[in-house]
């Protein structure tokens, strides 16, 4: 055990050193790690508790690296909007002593980790890419990974399941109402649905870029895979939100070229739907038909949660008492809340849990930061609209809007992947105008220019004299 621990520590130190020399590549690795972490937990580590923190250690290491690089170069500095998170951070820290006194330091630390740790990801996303080419390349890798995840989900739905922990076998999915809801490479079926909520709009945006055919083919494969995964996973909230935000993305993009690319993306979605129907047609239709009943049930439960949360409207009930992972700690506050019959479930009510822990002021200050990010994101969209990055910017704005809506009833900002991807891609959006300007300068410099034609210097002829000839006087004659 000691040897394994030392090996992990040595690997962490080496990874930190590598990240210092290649900080942006470390962020790209995080983007590719989060979607497969659940697979690694269940199949490699055979664990579903402690190993969930791996991505958080990666995030902390990236924070340290970017902070160190910022001290030496302003090109790693944060966007100005990040400072608008300070009111929420200060309010949360002011609640910390009271929370420690009432619930203990461990539970308080869980609450601080839940709400404060992800916020600087906006800064990391803002500096994650230096050029537009890097966005294309990383996006291409994400799309290919998306197709692989869809293949895993389809195998899970087909019944190729195992709990043996072997890396070569597919872990069992989540059964609900007689239907297998596969998690793909995630640790839970709902987390896969949240990932699809980002991936489908992201594929739309990437298809709007002017890229070589082989990259466009990769984007199309990813979108088709995401469509198949959506039908196999059948998370109803994702289906409803996509139906809302995809038209919104087209409205935000506006430009004729962006709309044309979006129509091509819809054709890819239709092709993926045909394949998905062959895999999970009946299950998908069953879940779609149950959306109306699920919506009524969700509204009823949500109203109960917010009534519970408003029992302590000013200061909240204490940090950590409605955070993910609190049940594993067997915290007294969690047990007491359960005995009292309170209906707040940290797995399904982000905003209610936020009010319950930080009060209404905490909610308002949190939304101040969210509103600032959304406003700056719309400014970035306007700056990119005349470029081929406009559809990508509109797609990220649509994803942000979907997560904000979903957070009132569910948990997208409590768990990965959306707990990471929401803040990270919000930062990427803020950096897109910089990438567009850099690309425009590079294209202008790449245009061949004709050498100037040498011109002869024109010499103006002397002007004729207008003076009259002098008359010779008699004195001169002499």
> Could you tell me the CA-to-CA distances from 359 to 57, 95, 215, 302, 351 in Å, in that order?
29, 10, 47, 17, 10
Task: Report how far residue 286's alpha carbon sits from residue 282's, in angstroms, rounded to the nearest whole number.
Answer: 6
Q: What is the DSSP letter of 169?
A: S
Q: What is the pLDDT of residue 126?
A: 96
pLDDT of 133: 93
Name the pLDDT band for 374 (thresholds 50, 70, 90). Answer: very high
pLDDT for the residue numbered 40: 80
> CA-to-CA distance for 396 and 8, rounded, in angstroms?
35
pLDDT for position 162 = 59
CB-based contacts of 304: which residues, under 8 Å, 6+ apart?
343
List C-alpha distances in Å: 471 to 64, 465, 476: 97, 17, 10
- Residue 326 CA to residue 333 CA, distance in Å, equals 9
Average pLDDT over residues 387-412: 91
> What are φ and ψ of residue 175, in 5° steps?
-90, 130
DSSP label of 53: G
Q: How far is CA 428 from the centre of its chain?
A: 8
Coil, helix or strand for 179?
Answer: strand
pLDDT one-digit tens code per residue, 302-327: 667 777 777 778 888 888 888 887 76
Q: Which DSSP string do the residues of 286-329 spell out, in sequence order? A: HHHHTHHHHHHHHHHHHHHHHHHHTTSTTT-S-TTTTSTTTGGG
Is the predicted pLDDT of residue 1 greater than 60, yes or no? no
Angle at 356 between CA 293 and CA 364, to 5 degrees: 95
Q: Please give the Cα distance from 334 to 339 (Å, whole number).
A: 9
pLDDT band, residue 88 (cuts 50/70/90): very high
Is residue 10's pLDDT more than 80?
no
**For residue 432, what pLDDT is reported?**
95
**Gap between the Cα atoms of 97 and 334, Å rounded:** 19
Above pLDDT 70, what percent of the chain? 72
124 pLDDT above the threshold of 80:
yes
Residue 255 burial (C-beta neighbours within 10 Å; 0-12, 13-18, 19+) = middle
Distance CA 168, CA 160 (A): 11
**Residue 307 to residue 342: CA distance in whole angstroms:** 9
CA angle 214, 218, 222 (to 5 degrees): 170
Select the more confidently predicted residue: 188 or 95: 95
Q: In this predicted structure, what is the pLDDT of residue 332?
A: 53
Given pLDDT bands bounded at 50, 70 and 90, which one contains residue 19? confident
H-helix or E-strand spanning residue 252: helix 236-253
Q: Which of 80-89, 181-190, 255-264 has the lowest mean pLDDT?
A: 255-264
Neighbours of 326 (CB within 10 A): 23
Digit-coded pLDDT (tens) for 94-111: 999 999 988 888 888 988
pLDDT digits (tens, 9 = 90+) for 199-209: 999 999 998 89
Question: Mean pLDDT, to the nearest integer, of 437-451?
Answer: 60
What distance in Å separates the CA atoms of residue 225 and residue 240, rounded to the nearest whole number?
Answer: 19
Show Cβ contacts of residue 202 under 8 Å, excluding neighbours closer than 6 positions: 139, 142, 392, 395, 396, 399, 425
DSSP label at 447? S
Q: Please report the pLDDT score of residue 272 as a whole number.
A: 67
Q: Where are the domains of the chain?
A: 15-442
Computed over every residue of the chain, the mean pLDDT equals: 80
Unique residue bearing structure tokens 């809340």: 337
Q: Write the burial class of residue 392 (CB in 10 Å: 0-12 exposed, 13-18 middle, 19+ buried).
A: buried
The pLDDT of residue 4 is: 46
pLDDT at 339: 41
**C-alpha pair distances (Å), 175 with each of 184, 265, 440:** 13, 31, 51
Whether the upstream peptide bond of residue 417 has omega within 30° of 0, thus cis, is yes
**Under 8 Å between Cβ of 184 and 150:** yes
Encode 66-118 in three state secondary structure: HHHHHHHCHHHCCCHHHHHHHHHHHHHHHHHHHHHHHHCHHHHHHHHHHHHCC
- In the predicted model, what is the mean pLDDT of residues 423-450? 77
Q: What is the pLDDT of residue 177?
A: 44
Decide if pLDDT at 337 tops 60. Answer: no
Identify the band that residue 346 occupies on the pLDDT scale cut at 50, 70 and 90.
low
Check residue 130 and give its pLDDT.
92
Q: Tokens 């929420």 appear where?
A: 88
**What is the reported pLDDT for 478?**
46
Query: What pLDDT, in 10s, does the model give residues 141-161?
Result: 999 999 999 988 888 877 765
pLDDT higher at 22 or 308: 22
Sign for the pseudo-dihedral over CA of 437, 438, 440, 441:
positive
Q: What is the mean pLDDT of residues 420-442?
A: 87
């Amino acid at each position: 055990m000691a040897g394994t621990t030392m090996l992990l520590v040595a690997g962490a130190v080496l990874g930190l050193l590598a990240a210092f020399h290649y900080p942006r590549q470390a962020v790209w690795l995080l983007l590719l790690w989060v979607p497969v972490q659940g697979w690694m937990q269940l199949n490699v580590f055979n664990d579903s508790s402690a190993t969930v923190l791996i991505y958080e250690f990666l995030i902390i290491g990236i924070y340290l690296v970017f902070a160190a690089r910022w001290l030496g170069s302003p090109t790693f500095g944060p966007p100005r909007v990040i400072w608008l998170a300070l009111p929420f951070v200060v309010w949360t820290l002011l609640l910390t002593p009271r929370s420690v006194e009432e619930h203990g330091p461990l539970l308080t630390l869980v609450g601080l980790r839940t709400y404060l740790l992800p916020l600087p990801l906006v800064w990391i996303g803002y500096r994650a890419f230096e050029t537009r080419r890097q966005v294309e390349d990383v996006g291409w890798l994400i799309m290919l990974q998306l197709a692989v995840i869809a293949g895993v989900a389809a195998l899970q739905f087909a019944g190729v399941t195992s709990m043996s922990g072997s890396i070569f076998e597919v872990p069992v999915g989540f059964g609900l109402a007689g239907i297998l809801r596969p998690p793909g490479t995630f640790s839970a079926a709902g987390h896969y649905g949240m990932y699809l909520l980002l991936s489908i709009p992201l594929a739309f945006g990437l298809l709007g870029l002017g890229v070589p055919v082989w990259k466009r083919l990769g984007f199309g494969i990813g979108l088709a895979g995401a469509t198949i995964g959506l039908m196999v996973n059948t998370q109803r909230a994702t289906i409803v939100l996509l139906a809302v935000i995809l038209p919104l993305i087209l409205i935000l993009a506006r430009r004729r070229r962006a709309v044309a690319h979006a129509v091509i993306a819809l054709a890819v979605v239709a092709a993926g739907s045909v394949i998905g129907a062959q895999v999970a047609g009946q299950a998908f239709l069953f879940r779609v038909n149950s959306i109306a009943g699920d919506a009524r049930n969700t509204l009823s439960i949500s109203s109960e949660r917010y009534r519970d949360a408003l029992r302590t409207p000013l200061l909240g009930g204490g940090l950590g008492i409605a955070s993910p992972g609190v049940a594993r700690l067997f915290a007294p506050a969690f047990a007491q809340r359960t005995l009292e019959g309170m209906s707040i479930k940290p797995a399904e009510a982000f905003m209610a849990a936020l009010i319950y822990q930080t009060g209404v002021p905490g909610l308002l200050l949190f939304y101040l930061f969210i509103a600032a990010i959304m406003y700056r994101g719309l400014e970035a969209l306007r700056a990119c609209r005349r470029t081929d990055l406009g559809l990508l910017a509109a797609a990220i704005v649509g994803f942000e809007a979907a997560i904000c809506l979903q957070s009132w009833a569910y948990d997208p900002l409590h768990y990965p992947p959306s707990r990471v991807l929401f803040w990270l891609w919000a930062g990427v959006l803020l950096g897109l105008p910089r990438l567009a300007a850099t690309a425009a300068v590079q294209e202008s410099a790449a245009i061949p220019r004709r050498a100037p034609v040498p011109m002869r210097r024109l010499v103006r002829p002397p002007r004729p004299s207008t003076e009259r000839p002098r008359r010779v006087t008699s004195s001169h004659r002499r």
